[in-house]
Chain A
Amino acid sequence: MDWLVANWAFVAQLTLTHLGIVIIPLIVGSVIAIAGARVVPTRWVPSTTAALGAVYAIPSLALFVTLPALIGTDFIGPTNVVIALSIYVVASMFFSARDAFNQVPTSTTTTATALGMSRLQLFLHVELPMAVPGLITGLRVVAASTVSMASIGAVVGVRNLGYLFVDGFQRRIPEEIITGIGAVFVIALVFDVGLWLVGRVLTPWRIRGDARV
């Protein structure tokens, strides 16, 4: 605790950086994945699934160091890591989003179409809101993994909570490492609880629906 008390301002700054590096990929990646899950034609789904599965199998450190060579981003710095994490979010969320949309009953989409909803109206009024529970579940998983994966960015020079592991390990300061683990855990928990709450707010019918009258 002494170490944390002495360095709290530094830890707070690392935490903020860490949050930024997690939130941007979560938003960008989810939007791309959700749109993709709706737009990719069914006959391309197997190949898309295979490609994304392969992407997910690339170790994060390897992706961090190869991206600059592929797309010309700075080798050192957050851009690179944010892009790499976004790719992982897309890869993971695409599956969850497809699942979530598949859970929407055909009878609901059929009647909505038959009553004159356009494709876009069907997405906004029917598919998206009804997929919320599945999407939130997927987001909770991907948020936790992104929070922990972002730490690895410290190795390529992004000063986030992962820096506490690298620095603590090199200088043999166990308190620093433990603080890092604790802070990453707290952030992951905040995301998880936050997303759970968002899910509750967006699906009021599931709460009231339980209380049958």
Chain B
Amino acid sequence: MRSALTMLGIIIGVGAVIAMIAVGTGASKQIADQISTMGSNLLMVDPGSQTSGGIRMGGGSQQTLTLDDSYAIERECPAVQDVAPRLNGTAQIIYGNLNWSTGVQGTSPGIFSVRDWPLASGRPITADDVRSATKVAILGQTVADRLFGGIEPIDQIIRIKAIPFRVIGVLAIKGQSVMGQDQDDTVFVPITTAQKKLFGTAFPGMVRGIMVKARSAADLNDAQKQITELLRQRHHIGTTKDDDFSVMNLTQMMQAAEDSTKVMKYLLAAIASVSLLVGGIGIMNIMLVSVTERTREIGIRMAIGAKTWDIRLQFIMEAVILSLIGGIVGLVIGITGSYVISMIAGWPIDVSLISAAIAFAFSGIVGIFFGFYPAYKASLLNPIDALRYE
């Protein structure tokens, strides 16, 4: 019973460390997944300038990005692979007697490459569609299911904002975004169609943003520079003036977020380690008491021939066994606790076997370290006095 209480510190320490690391690793893994869902090597060009804090001001108050800007970027920035301008809004989609309200994205052929988003069936939006502002639409899987059930949607006529559109394709399933939004609940239309027929523009050629895919991760910085230079030129921005747009390196942002999560993770683990320390002190305490209680026994062993390190090893081993058992129980509790947390709080977790092994080994080290002093004290006893001890 006493042993069980002693081990409590170690159990809690190991369990907490494992759970913290699992939650922290889950969080940073989620961010990494975020990057891959969005697409890779992305830059977001948005209208309106950026404050030094990185927060975009006015959410597009200075509407200056145009479709032509996006063509220019694609044409004249060598580090850029594809562009996807966007103009979006919400609209009612009607098919027969079913309707569904969803986000409609005006976009260009580049979107499929930029978002790494293939089609499940049908054909993509083409440059011709954009040139002619044809009334064609590509449905996300959720919209297709909602409006068409099992029926083939392609070549059917739907109404977006009471305007008839022909379905030319269905997107492959993307799943949930990191924010929990259903990415398949969307409709793509040519950007010009969105500009002229659906949502209108505050000025000619207006787009709400341009997503840019760089040729590779190494090209991201160059792409950012090229786009910035190009747009400053096009928008006639003097050298002393700020940009009227912002170019954000999505990967960089995500990386920064991931890094800070990592710091958080290790901080949490360090705090949890304090419990391990407390557990170790508990073990040292109990071992000291044990040594005192067994003074006579130590005297007998010494009289019979136990040498200094025979005694020390005996007590260190006992401390190590205590802490390792605590470590195993802590391991089990930490792993099950992680799963419980993820079920209740909905946080993602990633139980790392390596961190579990390290935490377990650490508990053994704690045993050796905190068991040493009592073992040392035991070995220094005078056998004659020890034998007389009551």
A and B part of one assembly: no
